[in-house]
Each structure stands twice: as structure tokens, then as C-alpha cells.
Structure 1
């Protein structure tokens, strides 16, 4: 866990890509659930933010 936080602080690609992937997955889950309307409402923007974040962090340097 400490190496994950250190990677985030040093702007390494691996931890940021993992975080972006989790945000994308969260957006897809929010889109597919039929119970909570606010989650469905914000699902597209969540998926979009995760996708843009993934594109940006793919240009970060690799970790040590």
C-alpha cells in the first residue's frame, strides 16, 4: 500500500493507471445498476473522467 501511495506522489504510471481503471469500472457499474438514479445520472461523466485520466497518465514515466 505504501508503494502505491509513493507511486501516486511521484507521478509514476502504474498506480495512476490503476486508479483511472478503477474510476472507469466504477462508471460502468453506475451505468448498469437499476436502483439509484443519481448513480445512473453521473455514470457517463465518471466513465469519461476515468478515460481521459487514463489517456493523460499513459504519458507519465514508468516507476523505478
Structure 2
């Protein structure tokens, strides 16, 4: 059996890849919804920054351990 598979990860549960990738995906989706809503100009203004932050977060988080 692989010893690294048996050893427990020192990363906290909230910082693991699965949960954080889902959070990043939700941030990207929120930015997308902000981009295509017709009501508030402020939401439209920050939509690209929100999607960019979610994308950067997804790229960084994809390097985290499972």
C-alpha cells in the first residue's frame, strides 16, 4: 500500500480542492449572472472583476491536494 495515501493531509478540510473548486465555480457563475442582468449598472460594472477573481481562484485551487 502506498504510504502517502495512508498519511493524513495537514491541510484543513475547508482548504481542500473539492470544496474550494466549487466555491470558485459559484463565484464565476455569480459574475456571469451579474454580467447579464439588466437592472443595476454597479453589478454590471463589477461582473468582469468577479469572474476574473473566480477564474484566478480556480486556477490556484486546482493545485491544492485532494
TM-score (norm 1): 0.82
The match for 1:43 is: 47
What stretches of structure 1 move > 6 A for 4+ residues in a row?
none
Aligned residues: 55
CA distance in 2, matches of 1:51, 1:60: 15
The match for 2:35 is: 31
TM-score (norm 2): 0.80
Q: Deviations over 1:9-35 (max 9, x none)?
A: xx2100000000000000000000011
CA distance in 2, matches of 1:58, 1:46: 18
RMSD: 1.0
User: Which entry has the higher C-alpha Rg, 1 or 2?
Assistant: 2
Q: Which ranges of structure 1 fall in alignment gaps of 5 or more residues?
A: 1-5
Query: Displacement of 1:7 after TM fit?
Result: 2.5
Q: Which ranges of structure 2 fall in alignment gaps of 5 or more residues?
A: 1-11
